[in-house]
Every structure is written in C-alpha cells, then in structure tokens.
Amino acid sequence: MRRLIVAAVLIVAGAAGAMSVTAWVVLLSAQVPQAGPSSALLWTQPAPSLAAVQAYTFRYYADGATTGAVLAGVTCTAVAAVVTCEAPMPSTFTQGTHSIQITAGSVAGESGKSVPFTFDYVNAPGTPANVHLK
C-alpha cells in the first residue's frame, strides 16, 4: 500500500500586519492493485472498427522502458462502439511494484503510450520440498 501525504498552509493577514499561519497535513491511503501470474490486463482501444483493432500489434513498456515488447495473447471484443482488449499479464515481472504502458501499432505506425498503470506484482509461494516424517 502506498500513502499520499497532502499538506496545506493557510496564511491570513490580520490587523496591523500581524499574520496567522495554520497548517494541515492529511495522510491518505492509496491502494495499489495486486497482480500475479494469472492476472490479465484490460483496456479500451479507440478504433474505427473491431476488425481494425484485431489487426493491431500491441506492445508493452515496463517500468518506464524506452523499448517495448510485443504483448502476446491479446483478444478484443466490441460492444456498441467500445472496443475492449484483454491480454495475459506478461511473465517478465518480478515481485514488487511496477508500472506498465501499452501502445497499439498498425502499418501506419505506433500510437503514443498509454498512461502508466502501477501495480504490485506478487508471485505465488514456492512449492514445498523435502516433505518427510519427523
């Protein structure tokens, strides 16, 4: 969990130039979503049609990387004019906090990067070993 600290200062000028200073500090908790090997990414994709989106190649950029990797297993569906795409979480992430950005590419070029999405990647526990009787 991450915490966001918000601070505010109010300065009030009073009579005869006297000043009063009041400060507030508020601690807010911001939940960072958790992801794991069985998680999936989900996003909406602007496009002229579902057929156009199905021809796109999607890339992901992890942790501010300048070079993207192809996002495998992307499937997209359309309801009315909204195209929603889904892909399995890439297996390249290690335990900890990460960010991911996605682009869409076609023969015309690559889109800009999405807004970064931050998450905590959690691995499943290791397989127990050396099981025996005492």
- In the CATH hierarchy, which fold is given to the domain comprising 34-121? Immunoglobulin-like (2.60.40)
pLDDT tens-digit readout, 117-126 = 999 999 878 8
Which residue matches tokens 């002229």? 48
Distance CA 110, CA 69 (A): 13
* CA quadruple 92, 42, 99, 106: dihedral sign: positive
Distance CA 51, CA 106 (A): 12
- Let me know: does 102 contact 56? Beta carbons within 8 Å: no
Domain ranges of the chain: 34-121
Distance CA 100, CA 64 (A): 8
Q: What is the pTM of this model?
A: 0.71
Q: How far apart are the first and last CA of the chain?
A: 40
Q: And the tokens for 10?
A: 């109010």
pLDDT tens-digit readout, 32-83 = 999 999 999 999 999 999 999 999 999 999 999 999 999 999 999 999 889 9
